[in-house]
Amino acid sequence: MSVLIIGVGNADRGDDAAGALVARRLRGLGLDAREHNGEGLSLIESWTGAQDVILIDAVLTGAPPGTITVWDARQAPVVRDAFRGSTHAFGVAEGVELARALGRLPPSLTIYGIEAQHFLPGHPPSPAILRAVEEVARRIAKKSNSLCAFA
């Protein structure tokens, strides 16, 4: 079983880079991880045919910056407000829920949210985000390696 890893984010908007940075870190570890801008409709297309999808994005839930939250998107609707840092009117949460309504969710969809602090254009990610990026990459690499061991 292969895992499709999608890191959502914009590297030029501070903490919004979180998902993209995780994807880059995973590629550095030899895993196939894609970067995506977070536009909902193309996100659905990107996972079409995949069985196990891991998606990483910056979120705003009110938790301390760098907090990692994991959702099983097959079990419950995605909280739209958590993804309000997106510049897309139709972003990750809307894409996931449209895919659910259309029967186009992958059999497994795990979302890692990294609590953001700022989305300032031209600014680097905050230190808390960079620490969380390393932790999420470590968790996903561990999960991906164990899944591949049984393929």
Three-state secondary structure of 66-116: CCEEEEECCCCCCCHHHHCCCCCCCCHHHHHHHHHHHCCCCCEEEEEEEEC
Digit-coded pLDDT (tens) for 64-106:
999 999 999 998 777 655 565 455 456 888 889 899 999 999 9
The reported pTM is 0.88
In this structure, what CATH number is given to the domain that contains residue 79? Answer: 3.40.50.1450
Tokens of 9: 């984010």
In whole angstroms, what is the distance from residue 52 CA to residue 96 CA? 14
Domain range for residue 38?
3-149
With residue 54 as reference, give the H or E element that holds it. Answer: strand 52-59
- Tens of pLDDT, residues 113-131: 999 999 999 999 999 999 9
Residues 92 and 38 sit within 8 Å (Cβ to Cβ): yes
How many domains are contained in the chain?
1
